């Protein structure tokens, strides 16, 4: 149950972040920014939930920084990118925006795999 609530929260945050601008301009579905390798990527909110089977990249969320955008350890054009198949990991202790996975791992007090798996493509900003 917690996994579905977290997935809903992740999708809601992604959707809410740009829902108003997307609806105002009438272009595309809601999306937001995710950082990877110190570069901003756009994303599209997709309401998916996947079983824990196959390959996933890690996307870090920050329970101690509600205004921080998520950070990915992978991105298009980098070896091993799995096309936007994510496992969600909570990185506790982060209170400011980071922009790459190595910094998240180095600075987090605790990393907890939430068990949430979903699909969300990254698009070069």
Strands 31-36 vs 39-44: parallel, antiparallel or unpaired: antiparallel
| Whether the Cβ atoms of residue 38 and residue 99 lie closer than 8 Å to each other | yes
Q: Residue 70: name the closest of 91, 85, 52 by CA.
A: 91
Q: How many domains does the chain have?
A: 1
DSSP character at residue 63:
T
Q: What is the pLDDT of residues 70-121, one digit of tens each?
A: 999 999 999 889 888 899 999 999 999 999 999 999 999 999 999 999 888 8
Residues spanned by the domain of 100: 2-124
Answer yes or no: is pLDDT of 43 > 70: yes
What span, in angstroms and rounded, lies between the C-alpha atoms of 32 and 83?
17
Which has the higher per-residue pLDDT, 69 or 83?
Answer: 69
pLDDT category, 45, cuts 50, 70, 90? low
pLDDT of residue 12: 41
Residues 69, 125 contacting (CB under 8 angstroms): no
Q: Is pLDDT at 57 greater than 60 in this prediction?
A: yes
Q: Name the average pLDDT for the chain.
A: 80
Contacts of 54 (CB under 8 A, 6+ apart): 85
């Amino acid at each position: 149950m917690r996994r579905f609530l977290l997935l809903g929260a992740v999708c809601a945050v992604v959707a809410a972040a740009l829902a108003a601008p997307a609806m105002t301009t009438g272009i595309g579905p809601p999306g937001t920014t995710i950082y990877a390798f110190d570069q901003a990527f756009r994303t599209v909110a997709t309401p998916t939930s996947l079983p824990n089977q196959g390959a996933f990249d890690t996307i870090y969320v920050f329970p101690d920084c509600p205004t921080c955008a998520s950070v990915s350890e992978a991105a298009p054009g980098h070896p091993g990118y799995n096309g936007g198949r994510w496992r969600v990991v909570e990185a506790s202790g982060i209170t400011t925006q980071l922009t790459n996975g190595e910094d998240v791992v180095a600075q987090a007090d605790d990393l907890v795999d939430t068990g949430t798996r979903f699909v969300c493509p990254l698009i070069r900003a």
